[in-house]
Structure 1
Amino acid sequence: MAQAYAHEPLPSSRSIRLISLAPSVTPNAPIRCDITIVELQSQRAKVPYEALSYVWGSPTGTIPIRCKGMELLVTPNCYDALRRLRSRFSRRTLWIDAICIDQGDDDRAIRERNSQVQMMGDIYENAARVLIWLGPAHKFTPAVFRLLSMIGFIASWSWRHNFAQFSEKLIVKTLSRRFQVWIRAMANLQCSVPQDKVYGLYSIFRAAGLELPDVDYKKTVQEVYGDTAKSFIRMRSRKLNVLLISIKPRGYDELPSWTPNWEMSQMLGPDVVDITGNFHLESDRYRASGYSLATIPNFTPARELQVRGLIVGTVQKIIVSSTAGEQPELVGKRNFSVNYVIACRAWLMQLGSIWEADMYQGQEVPANAMINTLAFFKMSEAESLELEQTEAQFRSWADVFAYPDCNVVTAQDIEAVAQLDPSSVDYSEIIEAALNHANIRSSGDTVSDAVKQILVSAGIFHFVICFQLANWAFLFLETGHIGRAYYNCREGDKVALLAGSNVPFVVREVGRDRYQLVAPAYIHGIMYGESWPVDENGVKDMTLV
């Protein structure tokens, strides 16, 4: 059995290892290399090298290569890259993290890994060239590289003609402004070690002004994620935007309720239905807590986050689809759709006293509150002409969902288009079928064109706009406010305004001034600072756990 290669200790905190990849004229010949140690200076390293960036894939090495005559295991992706990068007649000097950094689990290896990861920005910056290995080619590779070549030509031409002269300071400033994009994108990073969702971007974050604690692979995932969240809050803007992605409807109980859920995608999926519970609330338009600043959090205790806030209401009633949070493909797409129709209709029926009131919360006509509650993400950014169109679609939708007590169209019209017998199916199935564009189109002369237009308008409002929030619950507060939040809310939960947050949060009380964060919320009538005291009278210290 071949002797296993063991990494020699690095002599200084600025030392790095480089591999010298032996050449081969035979593609399938065994991979052979040597490892040398060099000092990384503020200028270029004395030995020019190329730094490789690639996806690890497997977390541990499984394929042997020969390093200084001894056996070193590398991952399949690393092995493929080495074979492709190996020259035929000359040695090639490379820096590859999985080989050049000791991946052992003893204390010395972990200390080295902590130090080397913090240096990775310098390592890549000092390289003569950075290589990106995407994996073996496939049938689409030539087309992709043709496209990249075109993009490269355009970028090069723009650069030469002074259209893209960006200074380093400008790049850093741009990065810092787009932290919310980074916050979301981190969940989609494919990392063999979960902590690397943070540590893999460590140098970029530090360059952009984010003061992260030192890299420490001995810390648990929840400690690393929690430290990162607190670092985002501690930035100059002192905002709680990072808390938007803390929703954990599927568990992840090992993480505190306020810690970002980077184990679940925070991007909108391919379907229209929102699966994040927060994406539509990421808007600078909202100022629920005025222009207040968040408390600067301490890094200890690790599982707690100190905030200042104000409880503004209690969730008295919740209406939510019975299949909210389920995958439509598993429960049946029509079943998923019908159940949301049931929830929407129940919400509309529950609005009785609000419908009948002259004003909603003394601010506006009730219809405005209803349409905004259904489509706040659409209404907050729509132009005036689009607003009028959406309001007209809402009126059609509300009339259809009042079935069989419609006012504009008749129950008979809806049943004729749905082609369902009301004595044998639920009202919601009839409504869902009547909004189906194919059914409307095939209804022929059984209903008038005016009725068809109303149904088409209602269908657009429901399936194109409302359906995006099919996983969200309808909330009724004891204060008379109505709103929306993700399906994991419960009756009895509180609604809190937190200093530094643009939107309210649903929280769950677990002790005196101690709360679990449940979900961000849209509560109509308090989204623009209406309930936040200018003098912050009544705002108190709260602990999120």
Structure 2
Amino acid sequence: MAAAPYKYQPLKPNSHEIRMLQIHPTWRAFSTIKCSLINVDLDDLENESVPFDFYEALSYTWGDATGKVTIKLDGCSFEVTRNLAAALRRLRARKGYRYLWVDAICINQADEQERNSQVALMGLIYRTAEQVLIWLGREADGSKGAMKLIDNISDIGVEESDVIASLENEAHHAKWQNVARLFDRSYWRRVWVRQEVALAKGIVVLCGDQMMSWDALIEAAVFLNQNTANFEPIAAELTRYTSGYHDAIGMDILREMILKDNQVPLEDVMLHLRQCECTDQRDKVYGALGLVGPEVDVAVDYGLDKVAIYTSAAIAAIKSTDCLNTICACQNLNRGSGLPSWVPDLEVDWTARKLRRTENLDTLGSAGGFAKPVYSFHRRDNGLFSLTTRGVAVDTISEVCAEFDSDETLGKVLEEWRVLAMRTLSTLQPPISDEDMRSCFWRTITANEELRGLAASDGFIAQALEHAIEGSSDAIPSIDLSIGQTSFNERFREDAMNRRFYATNSGYIGLGPSDVRNGDLVVILLGNALPLVLRKEDNHCLVVGETYTHGIMNGEIAADLDNGILSIDEFDIY
């Protein structure tokens, strides 16, 4: 006979009341986990009736839902995942109660209305906790040694040169592979942990019986990021490996933004969460809300579908920043999900690397920065929202090259791009010099930026000549990027991957989305940082994606507006 489900005591509506998990002490390591739940109001924690001086919040992954472990909750049987049971067993004290907030237990997951209200409070819960405990899971795959090695990297008595020597020592590869396995744990890829880490007053990292500070872990992650040439080949021998240390650095960047400004723009955190994992794809919006300011109007409602939530989030991101840069994240025109083309589909990972990122906000330019944005939203007959906005149709795309999608096709694709650039730029009037033709093409295929988001210098662009094929006498020589390690080569591979090169009727060249085709429009929306490729269909347009189009990235078209060559039009985008 199945046990009756645990009966939660109701929470006060329209309040900051939550449940706190009280973990009972024990001297026996493997005895049954016993806990209680206490209702407390976050606004009233100083009240003498509250049985604790502070509480901690757990940041973890639920883990496999099968093979659950039964604990005792207020004397009743309650099932939790093995990963959570291991965390509770690790955290309970020998003497005295420990007070912990754990979403899987403290929220009645079967009550949708409560789930809505409690998820909306999660930002406050993690901000108020004395510290956040990161639980990476039980000891496995050499994690004990990996934790010690990571902690040692930040030790003041350890020389960086000695750590690099260890990385280069083949006899130490197994130790570093254990580090890679630790950073491959699913924790680093999950949506909710971003908010939990970013909002924490203090953080302790736990794995098995090992413990370290968050600062120590980040110092190690930064070290690995600076020494990828040595570390990645070691890690690449593991078939499942993903670069979790990059995720950790990304979390720390969010944390620094919170410490500095107390909030993050919804657009930034929402697009950061796009590449993360979650069971419920709606959490890619809800997992961002604790990090953003009160002006962002998105209510937590698990009764809504993904289309409604993603659309609501896109509208809120646009309104809260008063710009349309959010729609530059739209990369998948053929949407089986039913989203409007101007709403980013957060369920789908990036098709191509986003052109405008945190590190290059000040250098990539402001194509539409000469005017304030104008926009409105309208519900159509089919229930979807359209975006009506104003901008300038700069030109029409006349020729599109093959997509750069792999090293196997690199040489053929790059030569096709070069030939189109030569043919297009040689017809410009007045004519431009060979040097300007080379600069125009090479700046386009690298989005005119160096590594770390710096604006491309002449010296950076000249690195392309190091790859020039001997005997080429064209104004833009053929180059071979299959050999030679330069920052130009690296930047090209990052920005041009899964994009197409194109030319327009008037002689512009650009780096566009993989879906771009002849007849598409290159458009600058008022106030937008980047140009967009739009596709006309009947009486409306669809967003194809963001583009780098050389010569219009920094507001140059304002002069053509003044002299009447171009005009501002209205665009109704479905």
Q: TM-score band (shorter)?
A: 0.7 to 0.9
CA deviation vs aligned residue, 1:101-144 (integer Å, no higher than 9, x gap): 1101xxxx211112112222333344454433232242312233
Residue 493 (1) aligns with residue 520 (2): yes
Given that 2:307 and 2:337 are in contact with CA atoms closer than 8 Å, whether structure 1 keeps it comes out as: no
Residue deviations 1:267-286 (CA, integer Å, cap 9, x gap): xxxxxxx9425357954341
For 2:366 and 2:454, locate their aligned partners in 1 and report how far apart those are by CA, in whole Å. Answer: 18
Whichever residue aligns with residue 347 of structure 1, its letter is W
Whole-angstrom distance in 2 between the partners of 1:69 and 1:517: 57
After TM superposition, give the deviation of residue 30 of structure 1 in Å: 2.1
Q: Does 1:540 align with 2:565?
A: no
User: C-alpha displacement at 1:191, in angstroms?
Assistant: 2.6
Distance 1:507 1:81, change over 3 A: same
Q: Give the superposition deviation at 1:347.
A: 2.5
The Cα offsets for residues 494-533 of structure 1, whole Å up to 9 and x where unpaired, read as 2111122111101122331x22211101111211222243
Provide the C-alpha distance between the structure 2 equivalents of 1:527 and 1:399, rounded to a whole number of angstroms: 30
Cα distance in structure 2, aligned partners of 1:367 and 1:169? 40
Match of 1:115 in 2: 117
Q: Which residue of 1 aligns with 2:532?
A: 505
Corresponding residue SS for 1:479 = coil
Sort the Cα spacing of 1:252 and 1:22 in 2 relative to 1 into closer, same or farther, 3 A: farther
Number of matched pairs: 459
- Work out whether residues 247 and 260 of structure 1, in 8 Å CA contact, stay in contact via their aligned partners in 2: yes
Give yes or no for the alignment of 1:521 onto 2:530.
Answer: no
* Counterpart in the other structure of 2:174: none
Is the partner of 2:547 in helix, strand or coil? strand
Matching residue of 2:389:
307
For 1:257, the equivalent position in structure 2 comes to 341
The answer on whether the counterparts of 2:58 and 2:101 sit within 8 Å (CA) in structure 1 is no
Unmatched 5+ residue regions in structure 1? Answer: 156-167, 267-273, 326-335, 411-427, 438-455
Q: Kindly indicate whether the alpha-carbon contact (under 8 Å) linking 1:210 and 1:232 is maintained by their aligned counterparts in 2.
A: no
Give 5+ residue unaligned stretches, structure 2.
157-211, 217-254
Superposed counterparts of 1:360-509, under 5 Å: 365-378=436-449, 386-388=457-459, 390-391=461-462, 393-394=463-464, 406=473, 432=480, 437=483, 460=486, 463-468=489-494, 469-509=496-536
Q: Please, what TM-score do these two structures have when normalized by structure 1?
A: 0.72
- Alignment of 1:288 with 2:317, yes or no, is no
Residue identity opposite 2:303 in structure 1? K
Separation in 2 of the partners of 1:479 and 1:60? 58
Residues of 1 paired with 2:257 and 2:407: CA distance? 47
Task: Assess if the C-alpha contact under 8 Å between 1:234 and 1:296 holds in 2.
Answer: no
SS at structure 2 position matched to 1:64 = strand
Q: Distance in 1 between matches of 2:362 and 2:556?
A: 16
Pairing partner for 1:232 from 301, 317, 340:
317
Give distance in 2, aligned partners of 1:145 and 1:153: 10
Partner of 2:86: 80
For residue 485 of structure 1, what is the amino acid of its counterpart?
G
- Largest Rg, 1 or 2: 1
Give the letter for the 1:348 counterpart.
R
Distance of aligned partners of 1:275 and 1:215 in 2 relative to their CA distance in 1, 3 Å threshold = same
CA distance in 2, matches of 1:249, 1:80: 44
Q: Is this contact kept in 2: 1:361–1:525, CA < 8 A?
A: no
Q: Does 1:347 align with 2:431?
A: no
Q: What do you get for the CA RMSD once the two structures are aligned? A: 3.9
Opposite residue 240 of structure 1, the aligned amino acid is L
Equivalent residue, structure 1, for 2:355: 278
Where does residue 332 of structure 2 map in the other structure?
248
Deviates more, 1:459-468 or 1:94-103: 459-468
CA 1:360/1:197 → structure 2, altered by over 3 Å: closer, same or farther? farther
Deviation at 1:200, TM superposition (A): 2.5
Structure 1 residue 466, shift from structure 2 partner: 3.3
**Aligned partner of 1:242: which letter?**
T
1:201 match: 288
Change (3 A) 1:92 1:356: closer
Partner of 1:28: 30
Deviation at 1:242, TM superposition (A): 2.0
Tell me the secondary structure at the aligned position of residue 490 of structure 1. coil
Q: Distance in 2 between matches of 1:12 and 1:316?
A: 60
Residue 273 of structure 2 aligns with which residue? 186
Q: Give how far 1:100 is off.
A: 1.0
Secondary structure of 1:378 counterpart: coil
On the 8 A contact 2:25/2:93 being kept in 1, the answer is yes
**1:119-134 correspondence to structure 2 within 5 Å:** 119-134=121-136
Cα distance in structure 2, aligned partners of 1:5 and 1:214: 28
User: Does residue 316 of the first structure (1) align with residue 377 of the second (2)?
Assistant: no
Distance 1:111 1:409 in 2: 63
Tell me which residue corresponds to 2:60. 55
C-alpha contact (below 8 Å) 1:57/1:192 kept by paired residues: no
| 8 Å CA contact retained: 1:309, 1:541 | yes
Task: Give 3-state SS (helix, strand or coil) of 2:315's partner.
Answer: helix
Which residue number corresponds to residue 160 of structure 1?
A: none
Distance 1:117 1:299 in 2: 29
In the alignment, the residues of structure 2 paired with residue 540 and residue 305 of structure 1 have an alpha-carbon distance, to the nearest angstrom, of 14
- Per-residue CA distance 1:302-323 (angstroms, 9 max, x = gap): 54333222222221110024xx
Deviations 1:161-197 (A, max 9, x none): xxxxxxx999565355776652442124333322222
- State the Cα distance separating 1:264 from its structure 2 match: 4.1
Residue of structure 2 in register with 1:11 after alignment? 12
